[in-house]
Structure formats: structure tokens, C-alpha cells
Chains A and B, each alone.
Chain A
């Protein structure tokens, strides 16, 4: 098989993995090396589906002994198979990196022979990169469930980030769709990695020169929409993973049917992209906005509101906490206002040290007043001319595309949200008497 065909086959097999980030570690180049890493991560291109391409995302091989129903590489699936040699893959990585095509390598693999052998193949590739080419760029390695902990440990010393994919958010779903995997077999390597990262951080305190184990931490992925699990279950699981296993990221991947399977949504089912989007929004709320999963969803509302994003949804259900005074509210509360994000909240905190802020100032600082106006006060005042009616608030909080969609379905959304207009209705038109008063100067 030609190298280019191998690359196509093995990229094709890897593309359903959502993670392609190169963030979480800052590292300068070494004297004789090539490459460095920036903690913000660097995307190098965007594919036609709008997803970032940061790393060369390929499998070592797509031969696999397992038969997970949701996976394109399952043994029972009839797809072309290929396998990189460690040298080939290292050479492509370095040459892509030099040309600034990529930020590093994302290496995963189907299971050939047994988990240990697979893991050794990956280790060999990474050691060629790190030791022969002195590569200091980013490497994301998938831990192979079932591989010896010693091997996982060696893999982690070579990689920046490690991940074990949960894929299915409950044991029930696992039993049904991935008969060779169990909750335990997935959580065990995850636990191992977490422990190693923690041990390593104390080693670094003791010996400055200690090598770092997965310095950019650990991530995982869950498939959305292949099983009947609810959004609340998924979100609670992610929250637990962030807390218990100190995961850096949980990725959500809308399920795309890969071949006909009785237990799964049929081919041609559209991927639940909106649901995936809402999960990411909620995930951000948990990681950066100080929310807890129980605030976003609860036992009675197990799924996301399709029309409102989770933050707006929370705000309209907690109107009692608003409005808040922009010039006094603490950072945590500013973050909870729809239309104020992390950046604009920080800017507000900075700018209000020098002057009392008013609405035009907020606009300059990047606050989306369209949404924020209903929840804030500036110098104790509501925005001039603001009409607060339920319909108006809802309309402003929904995205433009949602409004369009609802209207095309014939839903009535009263358009009574205009502000700052003195002449917005007939009765406010100046009368003849007013004109006379103007002319005579009588008030």
C-alpha cells in the first residue's frame, strides 16, 4: 500500500475522535531540538466541517480485535485496513511539523494482537520522535485499556496529554454496545493516569529534573445520541470526571451512524449537533463560570431546552437574583449574566476601578446588551426605555436562527422589544398643540 493511501485510511479511521487540542503545556525548545508548545494551543487549519486541525490525528493501525458496535474499526466492519511502521509515522510528523502544518501528533490505535503489543508500538513511535528527532512539540496519546500499567506509564512520559475514551456514558449502554469493555476497564487506566500525574507533580517538587508525566493532563470523549442516556446523566458524569479524576477536558461527539446496526440509530440519522452544542455550553459553564450540573439541569428537567442556551435558561428561572448592579456586583455574579462572558466580566472589573460604568461603556467593553439589559443596572438604573415583557425577554435571549426557525413554524413572537424610541407608537406622535407650544415657547 502506498504511504498516501495508508495515511488516508488511518486518518479516516481516526476522524471520529473529537479531541484535537494542543493546549495545556508551555514548553520552550531545547538546544538541539525542534518544536515547542504553547499553553493556549494552536490550531493549524480547519476542516470543511469547521473542526480545528491542530494535530496529525491518525491511528497506528485500524486492525482491531474488538467488536464495539458504534466504532467504525470494529472487527466485523468491512473497511480497508492499514498499519504504519513507527519510522514512517515519525517521518511524516516531523516533516508536517517543519512546514507548520501541525502542532504535533495525536496517536491512537486499534488493538492488534493484544493491548500490550499495541501500546509498545505506540511507545516506539513516540520514542523515535522524542529521542531521535528531539521533537519538543505536542503529543496526545490514547491510553490503551487493558495494557500493562508499566507501559501506560512509559507512554505518559513521552506524551503531553493522555486520554481514555469513555464513549458510552453508562454501564448499561456499554453492555449493550461494547461487550468487550466494562466501566471498570475504562476507569482503571483513567485512575492510573490521574495517580501518576499526581505522584509526578510531587516528584517534580523533590527533583527539579524529574521528567514530566502527561504535563497537559488527561481528557476523554463521550458519544452523544447513540444510547438513551439523558443530558443530565452525561453532564453529571462529566462533572464527576472533572472533580474526581481532575480531567482537563471532556469531549462530546454527536453520534454519526457508521453502518447499519440493530441496536443503534439507523444510517442516515442526522447527528444531534444541537444537543452536542448545548453540552459544550454547559461544560463551559461548569469549567469557567462556576456553575454546578445541578443548577443547569435537574431530575425534573433532564434534557436541555432546545431554544435557550443553558446560561440564559438558568437566568430566566432565577429572575429573583436579578437585576444586579454592574458597578458593585462581584465577579462570580457578573459571570452569571447572559451576555457577559469571562473576558467582558474581567474588563468590567478592571474598568470600574477608574470610573462608574454606564450602558454605552458596557457596549465598548464587549458586553452583549441585547441579552444583558434585562439583568443589570448601571448606577442603579435600568436601561432607558427598556420594556420587560416575557415575550420580549425570550425573543432577545434566543439566537437569531432559533427565532427564524420558530417563526417559520408559524409561532408568534411579539416584536415589542424596541427601546430608546420616543415615537414608537401612534399616541406618542406630536400633536398640533405641541407644535404651537414649540412656536410660542410656552411649555
Chain B
């Protein structure tokens, strides 16, 4: 019997919720045409089915999928969920189907459209996470290091281990302004918590001193004869500059539009599919 496709799933926006969508889809033999959250607007006239998140159902997929398709594949599904790709839930569902069908081989099927898109969006997440490993700038307020970021994908779970290991004996916080969440590390314990707003005190003189030293170093180290702003922008897209100490004075609120223009890498993927 062919799978029913004229239906839309609505779930609660969690990864377990996606797994429950997968479960429902297997049981009812249907592939939804869309998977949306309560916040999304319905774009077609197909009926909506509410999928309630049930830990027991999610657990069955969480147990069976890695067993059949490898932990590596499961990790990919998890990472893809952090992406800002618009139809990632449906993509993950199709990917899990392929995983159950082909087993471990699914990770070799790079020419398959679903798997290929999975790899591209996971790469995109990883790449952005790596950019933040590079370009996060902390400021010290009473010995607590604080950083503000505005990523497009959710990167905190990926960069967490890097910073907690590196700054093991410090206290720090990375505030993700675009997703209203923050990674906090205090007393050797790391947590990701929802934070709506963060107001920071002004920097003290020691902090300002190191900022100035860094700016001085940054401005000195370039070789004028090799000036190459295009190369710099390729390596360090302008949207990251906003929260970087070395550009702090260059940037003000009006420049917000620039950042939208400068990261086109993702649009390419979207155009392709």
C-alpha cells in the first residue's frame, strides 16, 4: 500500500518530538508533506495532525536507529536538528527512513539527495560552530568571562566541550542572542539555559587596557603592501565582526544590514534544492 502523503505533522519543536513524528509515520504508513511547529504557519490545505511527544516512542527510535544505522548517523540527525534549514525535520525523517532501509551504508550514499543535503546542512552547522571557536571574544567582568554571539544555527551544544576544557578553571558565559539561550560554566559545571536578555556593566580599566592592547596588535600585524580586504572577508565573514573586540568601534547598530548580505554560503544550498 502506498504511503499517505497529504498530511501535515505539528510537533513541539524538540528533537524527541521529531523522533515521535518518525514513529508515527512508521506506524501509520504516512510520509507527511510538511512537519511544522506551533509557531510556523500552515502553507497548504492538508489536514494537520498533532504529534504529542512521548518519551517511550522517542526512546524506541533512539535505541533502534543507531543500532541499525550506526552512532555516526544518529549524531548527524542530531546535528542537523541544530541547523536553521527550513525543512530540517522532514529531511531528518527521510534520512532516518534511509538509515533503517540501508543500514550503515546510508553514510556512504553521498550522491543521494537526502543524504547529500544532510551532509551539507551538518557541514554548515559545523562550519559556523568552528567560526565561533575562532571568533568568540570574551570580556572579563569581575573575573567572569562573558561573550555575546548571534549565530544562525544553534552552536552552543557543539562548542561547549571546547571551551569548558580550555577554560576549565575560569567561570564563563556565552550568550546566544539569536536563540535566547546561554552556555554557562561555573564551579566546573556547564549548562545551557534559556536567557531572554543580558545587560552587561561597562568594562573596567583592566579590561579596557587589554582590549586596547589587542586592537593595537591587530592593527600593527597587517602588512600594508599586501592589503587584501576581500581575502579577509572570505576568511572572516563580516557578520562575525559585530561582536569582535578588534572591530568594536567600527560597528554600530546601523550596520546590522551588512551582516545579512555577507553570508551567502547557505543560500546556495537552499537554491540548489
Contact = CB atoms under 8 A, between A and B. Distances in A.
Q: Do A and B bind each other?
A: yes
A12 B217 CA distance: 9
A162 to B, nearest CB: 21
B225 A256 contact: yes
Nearest to B214: A101
Nearest to B110: A351
Task: Determine which residue in A53, A99, A350 has the highest number of CB atoms from chain B within 10 A of its CB, and name it.
Answer: A99
Contact of B246 (A45, A56, A57, A95): A45
A53 B139 contact: no
A364 B168 CA distance: 41
Task: Determine which residue in A53, A137, A273 has the highest number of CB atoms from chain B within 10 A of its CB, and name it.
Answer: A53
Task: Determine which residue in B105, B108, B221 has the highest number of CB atoms from chain A within 10 A of its CB, and name it.
Answer: B221
A51 B222 contact: yes
Contacts of B65: none
A50 interface: yes
Interface stretch (B53-61, B128-136, B179-187): B128-136
B169 A44 contact: no
B221 A100 contact: no
Report the contact-size class of chain B (Cβ under 8 Å from the partner).
Answer: 35 or more
A271 B225 CA distance: 7
B109 A47 contact: no
Contact of A48 (B136, B232, B245): B232
Given A43-B134, A99-B137, A100-B138, A354 B235 contact: no
Contacts of B227: 48-49
A336 to B, nearest CB: 21
Contacts, number: 152
Given A48-B229, A350-B110, A256 B223 contact: yes
A354 B222 contact: no
Contacts of B165: 28-29, 36
If over half of B's interface residues share one DSSP class (helix, strand or loop), that class is named, otherwise mixed; here it is helix
A277 to B, nearest CB: 11
A188 interface: no
Contacts of B246: 45
Interface string B219-235: 01111111111111011
A48 B210 CA distance: 21
Interface in A9-30: 11-12, 15-16, 28-29
A52 B108 contact: no
A437 interface: no
Nearest to A54: B134
A270 B217 CA distance: 25
A7 interface: yes
Contacts of B218: 45, 47, 53
B214 A96 contact: yes
A137 to B, nearest CB: 8
Nearest to A3: B213
11 contacts: A15-B220, A15-B221, A42-B134, A48-B222, A48-B227, A51-B222, A99-B145, A99-B245, A100-B136, A351-B110, A354-B112
